[in-house]
Structure 1
Amino acid sequence: MKTIIFGNSGSGKSTLSKRLAQEHSAAHLDLDTLAWLPTSPPTRAQLGSSLDKINEFIQSHSDWMIEGCYSDLIKPIAEQCQYLVFIDLDVETCKANAKARPWEPHKYPSKEAQDENLDMLLAWIEDYDIRDDVFSKAAHTKLFETFTGNKVRLESNQQSRAFSLK
């Protein structure tokens, strides 16, 4: 299975992609791990460098799950996937999910450090519908609507929990 999952922060991309990766013995890639440079504050890595790393990952694995909110990284690789999944939840659900998320050790040194960033994350989630960038609902909707392959839009936590790949 070659699958790309995208949506707002807090939409459940990591939860769904990790579950599907385990169910299908697929490699998993969180785009957060290569989209940013390890600077303080974090700075976006060069687009070409990130795409090179993504393509290395794709070439190294026969089955993969890629997840993230970066339409500028997803669009160039979308034609390589068998399934494109847009988790399109309302902002309030994403905020509730973010408040309940477990510690993400690949992003933060501790749960406390993650929680210190929560207010910023909630503000980021809140602006999803009005932003005009590669992370916005507008960019995600355009990506989904212009993709011509197999695609699905999930609009609730329940749909995400029930979703499976055939």
Structure 2
Amino acid sequence: MTKALIFGNSGSGKSTLAKRLCKDADLAHLDLDTLAWEPTTPPERKPLALSAAAIHAFTSEHSNWVIEGCYADLIAIASPLAEELIFLDISAEDCIAHAHARPWEPHKYPTKEAQDANLEMLVDWIRAYPERDDSCSRQAHVEMFEAFSGEKTRITSPSSTLPGEEV
């Protein structure tokens, strides 16, 4: 695997899996949260064209990579370049538990306190994943997974491993 896309609900383990794959195979890592949002309060999505330009710059700069995020519209931009798609189709309850246990993400929040102040909103958003109809919804993720014609893996348990890995 040299070009992989990982997507799923917030708290599904996308970043954890991406970091592990990048470390094991010396791949470049792009977390779509770092380019999807304007630095405003409240947060506002960047125009799709700006995010697309950043994705294209990343994929042009790196020959081997993992891109991860919950944004089906952004994943779709990189999809034609990807060799593998990994869908972390984890239950909302497991994702919520992961969100509560999440360590501080300094690339997203200035302090752990700022991250924790956002937790209640995040949990509500995670819980709504099966019913939402936006580009970060389960529906959008299932459609993207089903449409992808390359190698693909759907993981439904947080304790699952990828093919070829030991438990």
TM-score normalised by length of structure 1: 0.96
Moved over 6 A (4+): none
Deviation at 1:75, TM superposition (A): 1.1
Deviations 1:65-84 (A, max 9, x none): 10000001111221211110
Deviations 1:69-115 (A, max 9, x none): 00011112212111100000011000001101111000001111111
**2:31 paired with 1:27:** no
Quick one: distance in 2 between partners of 1:58 and 1:76? 11
Alpha-carbon RMSD across the aligned residues, in angstroms, is: 1.2
Deviation at 1:165, TM superposition (A): 7.2
User: How many pairs align?
Assistant: 164
How do residues 17-166 of structure 1 correspond to structure 2 at under 5 angstroms?
17-159=18-160, 162-163=161-162
Deviations 1:26-80 (A, max 9, x none): 1100000000011111110010110010010000001101000000111122121
5+ residue gaps, structure 1 = none
- Residue type of the partner of 2:162? F
- Residue type of the partner of 2:145? F
Deviation at 1:156, TM superposition (A): 0.8
SS at match of 1:158: coil
Quick one: distance in 2 between partners of 1:98 and 1:164? 26
Quick one: distance in 2 between partners of 1:57 and 1:65? 10
Residue 13 of structure 1: aligned partner: 14
SS at match of 2:136: coil
TM-score normalised by length of structure 2: 0.95
5+ residue gaps, structure 2 = none
- Residue type of the partner of 1:76? I
- Residue type of the partner of 1:83? E
